[in-house]
Structure 1
Amino acid sequence: MSILQNLVAASQLDESVLRQQARSRQAQWQSWLSPISDSQPTGSDPGYDDDFQRIREEVNKISGVDTVLICQLAGQLLATTKDIRIVTYYCWARLHQDGEAGLADGLELLAGLLQRYGMQLYPQRDRSRKAAIEWLAGTRILDSLSLFPEVVREDARRTVGALLLIDDCLTTEPETSRPDLQALWGALESRLIKGGGVDAVVPQNVGNRGLAQTASRMAEYEAPVLSNITSGQDLLAQARTLTAYLRVQPDGWLAAHRLMKSLRHDTLTIIPAPDAEGKTRIEPPRADQRAMLKRLYLQQSWSEILEQADSTFSRGANHLWLDLQWYIHQALVRSGQDVLADIIIADLKGLLRRLTGLKH
């Protein structure tokens, strides 16, 4: 089974349904999909166009990228030319703005262009065309995707549906010039597994921020009101707001701690499957997180350990880093809170009993 087929299986929808849903959404791109003219449906090569060069300059920046400008220029250019590079840059910009939902938009647009124009799209030389499509599987896209580890069911299914349509278009090309997107498929598969799959109540792998930093948008994910929670990511954001309030209340630590633990542990029914070599896919804690807790322990800063451990627990895949429970237990015991320490032990025993493979 190919990686793309693994993604289809993980989406829990039939291929035909995923394709149909992806096609139905292409209507929103009608103005960008329409031919430039009857005689030149894909227009002319934009290689020397000033706006195209501006997009490339933004993409090549190390920092301070203006993703809004990239999207604006891409829209203007697609009214005069149909070029794969413009769309892949658009995918990257939208990924930075809106996470996987933005990536799915861009992939659906690319699928629509490939279906309509095929080999007429620019660049038309085989090697350049192959490289343009494979840019989607390069480090720029994959590094940006890693900033958004949370999996939202609808977005994940949209992505897979668009990739199926793209693959349908590419399978008819000669093998020597056929683009290879397996690196992108593999990154998406790994992300989906680490996130607990499309049915995870709460994402099992979460980023340190809900929105990427861009020139026009730079903020911590804002917790929605309770009535508007539509995803596990929203739920975690709201939980962080609630726990922050509880933690500063008199005797509020236990309530704050167990609220987050309930969301991150009690919704976990299976740990990420190991890779082909039997190694865990769970991301290890960062070195600075390990060093911080070790330093606080040596300093006997018990209250700071509790605060740091709880914050770390709510991020990434750190809820599966069992050392955090040890640090919390030690901090409680050494600060004379034996009853709370016993509760931590009981919670951990319950988790290990439910997830028998976790301690290995």
Structure 2
Amino acid sequence: MAPAPTLAERLDAAPSDSLSVADIATTTGLSESTVRRLAKEPGWPTEEPGDHREQRYPREAVAGWMRDNQATRVNPDELPGTDDDRVTLTEIASRTGRLRETVSRMPSAYRNSADPFPAADPLGTYSWGEVKAWLGRRSSRTGPRGTVQPPAPAAEPTTQPVLDKVTTAMIERLTGKGTQAVKTLVRKPEIAALSTKVGRLRVWPADTLLPLLWQLGYLPASGPLGSEQRAVLVELGYLPTAGKPTAEQRAVLREFGYDEQGSVEHRAWLRGPHRTATELAKYYGVSLSAISKRIARAQEAGQPVPSPIDTEDGKRYDPKVFDAFWNPPAAE
């Protein structure tokens, strides 16, 4: 089998001579956060001159930098956090700059390996120290940086694991608040009274804490959820991994205090003017590349995708049509 192309070779084959961060991420398979981190490294090519809406770099210069540095391997010593941290797969992805989809496959992909991915606790969290050590061992075995692809993932369970406990890390993701702010929040008597301890970890029952967070105004009562809020609710089983909630899930969320279609602002958005991909990404709380990749995957699968119109400002999409594409109805 031919060796996988290096990052530089992938960039050499890119169709454009001028690449944005999203273009580099799509071409190399790295996450956008990793590309932005690499762009701060010494010797990274300077931005191209001109009136660009986003940072753009010369393809040949970026390929040359990648060829010289081959900087895709994880260095555990450079990763944030302490070894005692308990982290979710989403947090591991954020700390390592990898795609969440890639990290979420690791436990099953390496389950039968001689060096399996570290085991999760009953709450679905992992020891950050064990994860860092495992990543370091994987890096030391992969040869030249940027040349080796991970093994094909094993088949994953079709059912989404459901958690019934919320950790402080999950509260941070739900509320968008930092660690210190969440420490203050969970000291509120009505929240503190709900907590229990599992080992050294303080947790809250999801079906009791979530309604309280909505009641206190820490979660939106309507309209689209942020990407991290949605990810946590998926992990807890209150939202599907794809598509819109089932009737049962919608009923539970309404009891909690959330109704996505109840927002006047959201309905106004759907009736509003055509939007650029950048505006759509901001509204749905995702990156621009996530929009592009979602459309590309649908096209590859032969599924209908929203058709943009060409304007002087570029391509624009009908927000109502795009919303139906982005949040398709779930089979009930």
Q: Report if TM-score (shorter chain) is over 0.5.
A: no
Higher relative CO (CA 8 A, sep ≥ 6), structure 1 or 2? 1
**Structure of greater Rg:** 1
Q: Where is the strand percentage greater, Structure 1 or Structure 2?
A: 2
